[in-house]
Amino acid sequence: MESLTLYYFESCPYCQKVLHYLEEHPVPIEKKDIRKDPAARNELIQIGGKPQVPCLIHDGKALYESDDIIVWLKYNT
């Protein structure tokens, strides 16, 4: 399985939606809180071009939007 990284921050309701899905459907995924880790925020901007969360990085590509992330996780993990 490929390496997956989820960029998020705790108070974001859209991030919470993805995190809740991950609680119910455990997937090996690295989680990086961009508000607690400035380096993670910089990584996200470098990869995706913007600091928007939630963002799932897979195959070096950025996927935004909570519903799209959940659908991707459902069918690809």
* Residues comprising the chain, all counted: 77
* Cα separation, 3 vs 18, whole angstroms: 17
CATH of segment(s) 4-76 = 3.40.30.10
State pLDDT tens for residues 2-26. Answer: 789 999 999 999 999 999 999 999 8
CA end-to-end distance (rounded Å), the chain: 8
State pLDDT tens for residues 31-77. Answer: 999 999 999 999 999 999 999 999 999 988 999 999 999 999 999 98
Query: Which pLDDT does position 2 carry in this prediction?
Result: 72
Q: Structural domain boundaries of the chain? A: 4-76
| pTM across the whole model | 0.94
